[in-house]
Structure 1
């Protein structure tokens, strides 16, 4: 007996829903075959904090949770609370790719070339700013808006998506040449240790911080700034 139009429509709708759910699950925290062939590896599996630790070894990052396949900080700590996350491994030349979103007014950051042992993660490590530009005071200044090399190199306007929406960030470090991309657009580029870099540091709050930006190799860090933030699809590709 031929299927009724209603039954056919219902089955089609169910298949579309199921296929969409599978596609969504496949996309996040997975590597494609092309990525695997290109040398990418996952830093976050979507299930636990394996491969990550607290910046301060004696202060476990207890408030970070796994929320629907995302690495989530709920905003119950605060800047300097000791709940910044870092990778267990250190890296030198690589590309890092990840997605992030913040709650309204939210602030966080992605640190690179992190060196443990300082009172705070930002004493030594440069930062790609993670921010709700529209609702946080730092969003009014390109030097501290989303995607910037925080307080050193500005990000262009209109690239970051609003609070609650996912942004895709990419950071490349190649013999000290640092490049930031946000949502597919190259927004920051600089050379660590150059005269231009030193001038930017000297004009910033980092001027008197002896170890700031000096490391050639370091960990990757995610910041607890006291606001809700989510990360997913955290991937890295190392190269010579």
Structure 2
């Protein structure tokens, strides 16, 4: 090493040390999980083959709490019988025949991003219950030009979607629903339709929303189809 290079190296050492010290003091850069881009963090709620992970609907979040364990177990057995009679799997799709009741996740969830595809028939009506509370609305846009995706049962906060983003009846639509605390954001077919609007407690108006609860695919007397259902817990 010649003299000039040695001098330059000695001058650089303090700068390197200072840089390392600053990085150490600042700590690691924060990890942004909001985009939920890591595939391993997503979990399928529907395996495309069976109803594993799903159950029939028993009452409301509050009526279930009032039941004894024995009462709840007996009611769940009956609800599951109804579920099996009216919900089925065909071609990697959850199919509902228009009779019976809601299909519910076996697990409860708190804060999450939920993605799913859905399709309805003419005149169809449904919705996605979050933490057991209604709902992100699904309906026929020809009969309801306001469009799907709004928080239909809200009375104080906004209930209507920002835009109508539905595809024609009979075609698939996609929801991306983000729920943090009581705030709900809905993207439908890559368009923002609900932007951080609080979901109100339909079952006990004026009360706080349950901190966690099951996700429900609502039955409303019409045939329904769902697929590609997955969740990212926040």
Query: TM-score, normalised on structure 1?
Result: 0.66
Tell me if the contact between 2:148 and 2:161 (Cα under 8 Å) persists in the aligned partners: yes
What is the alpha-carbon distance in structure 1 between the residues aligned to residue 129 and residue 115 of structure 2? 13
Q: Give the secondary-structure state (helix, strand or coil) at the position aligned to 1:146.
A: coil
Report the count of equivalent residues: 173
Q: Give the secondary-structure state (helix, strand or coil) at the position aligned to 1:219.
A: coil
For 2:221, the equivalent position in structure 1 comes to 226
Asked if residue 180 in structure 1 is aligned to residue 180 in structure 2, the reply is no
Q: Which of residues 44, 47, 53 in structure 2 aligns to 1:45? A: 47
| Offset from partner CA, 1:62-92 (integer Å, 9 cap, x none) | 20011211001022x1xxx5x2111000011
For 1:94, the equivalent position in structure 2 comes to 112
Unaligned runs of 5+ in 1: 1-33, 115-124
Tell me if the contact between 1:126 and 1:212 (Cα under 8 Å) persists in the aligned partners: no
Query: TM-score, normalised on structure 2?
Result: 0.68
Give the greater-gyration-radius structure (CA): 2
Summarize the alignment of residues 206-217 of structure 1 with structure 2, pairs less than 5 Å apart.
206=202, 209-210=204-205, 214-217=209-212
For 1:128, the equivalent position in structure 2 comes to 136
What is the alpha-carbon distance in structure 1 between the residues aligned to residue 50 and residue 206 of structure 2? 32
Summarize the alignment of residues 51-66 of structure 1 with structure 2, pairs less than 5 Å apart.
51-56=53-58, 57=76, 58-60=78-80, 61=83, 62-66=85-89
Summarize the alignment of residues 1-240 of structure 1 with structure 2, pairs less than 5 Å apart.
35-37=38-40, 39-56=41-58, 57=76, 58-60=78-80, 61=83, 62-75=85-98, 77=99, 81=100, 83-114=101-132, 125-134=133-142, 136=143, 139-140=144-145, 142=146, 145-152=147-154, 153-192=159-198, 206=202, 209-210=204-205, 214-239=209-234
What is the alpha-carbon distance in structure 2 between the residues aligned to residue 213 and residue 188 of structure 1? 20
Distance 1:65 1:35, change over 3 A: farther
C-alpha RMSD of the superposition: 2.2
Shift of 1:190: 3.6
Distance 1:171 1:213, change over 3 A: farther
Unaligned runs of 5+ in 2: 1-36, 59-75
What is the alpha-carbon distance in structure 1 between the residues aligned to residue 178 and residue 228 of structure 2? 16
